[in-house]
Every structure is written in C-alpha cells, then in structure tokens.
C-alpha cells in the first residue's frame, strides 16, 4: 500500500451505496491531493437481449446524454469540495470488468472506491456482485463503502 493515493476511481450507478462511495472518494481525493476519476457504466442491453439492442440505440443514446449531464454535476460537486483534478467517464459494457480493469487514466488507479451493492439486483442474484468481482480481480486497492440505513 502506498503512503498516499494519486489516482482514485469511484464507480457510481445512481444507488444510495454509490452516492456514499462518491462522498468517501471525494474526501480521500482531497486529503491525498489525488485525481478523482468518476465512472458510470451503461450496461449494454445486448448482453441480455441480443438483437433487441439494435432497436434500443436511441434509448441508450438518451441515457448516455443524461448520464453525461449527471457526471458534470458530480465533477462540479468534487471541485466544490476541494478536489483539484476530476475526470468523468460514461462507458458502455459490463460494469464489473470496466471497473476492475479501468485503464482510461494516464496513470494507474491505485484506489477504487465502490459501494457494497448497487442498483442491479438481478445481476447480483444471478452471477455475483460487481463489488465482489472488483475486489477479486483488480490490481488496485479497493475500499468498499458499507452504508446501511
């Protein structure tokens, strides 16, 4: 483990757990004077529904535009909290692999902050949680934010 973190990735999906993870990642980035990378993954529906994806292109693009607007708000929140370098990403694919193998930043991610659970209960039930996958497959340290009400 390094003395301080330089590049922190936080995955968000609109869930309460992800919101708490974002808040925690923002605090850690500020304390460490680190870059904060905020990632939202739009899960490709073709992964579940095959050819139906072709007819959902417009819906997916609308979702992307909505999420890019949301990411701008998150960037502004982090900047207002005192984080100097904030980068946002909206990507298509499998959340767990894109988070665990994140390679969009110029320097490697040394900390991933993620909520214990997210919005996709179906996927958790069928194939295990995104969080578990990330913990077991990434090279970075992982902080799992465990917020319960």
Domain boundaries, the chain: 7-145
Q: 10 Å Cβ neighbour count for 73?
A: 10
d(C-alpha 121, C-alpha 20), whole Å: 18
Query: Residue 52: its pLDDT value, please?
Result: 52
Directed axis angle between helix 57-80 and helix 16-32, to 10°? 40
d(C-alpha 90, C-alpha 67), whole Å: 7
Query: Residue 149: its pLDDT value, please?
Result: 46
Q: Which H or E run contains 113?
A: strand 111-115
* Rounded-to-5 percentages of helix, strand, coil across the chain: 45, 20, 30
Q: Is the pLDDT of residue 1 over 70?
A: no
| Record: fold of 7-145 | Rossmann fold (3.40.50)
Tens digit of pLDDT for each residue in 12-69?
Answer: 988 888 999 999 999 999 999 999 999 999 887 654 555 555 556 677 788 888 899 9
Taking alpha carbons only, the member of 138, 124, 148 closest to residue 8 is 138
Q: Which residues of 85-108 are buried (b: 16+ CB within 10 A; e: fewer)?
A: ebbbbbbeebbbebbbebeebeee
Of 48 and 100, the structure prediction assigns the larger pLDDT to 100
d(C-alpha 99, C-alpha 133), whole Å: 9
Q: Which H or E run contains 115?
A: strand 111-115
pTM value is 0.84
């Amino acid at each position: 483990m390094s003395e301080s973190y330089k590049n922190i990735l936080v995955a968000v999906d609109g869930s309460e757990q992800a919101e708490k993870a974002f808040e925690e990642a923002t605090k850690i980035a500020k304390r460490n004077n680190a870059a904060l990378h905020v990632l939202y993954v739009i899960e490709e529906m073709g992964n579940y529904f095959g050819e139906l994806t072709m007819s959902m292109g417009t819906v997916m693009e609308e979702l992307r535009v909505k999420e890019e607007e949301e990411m701008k708000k998150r960037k502004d929140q982090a900047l207002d909290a005192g984080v100097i370098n904030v980068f946002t990403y909206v990507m298509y694919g499998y959340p767990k692999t894109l988070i665990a193998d994140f390679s969009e930043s110029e320097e490697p991610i040394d900390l991933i902050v993620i909520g214990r659970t997210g919005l996709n209960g179906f996927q958790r039930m069928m194939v295990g949680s995104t969080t578990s996958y990330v913990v077991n497959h990434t090279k970075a340290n992982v902080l799992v934010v465990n917020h319960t009400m």
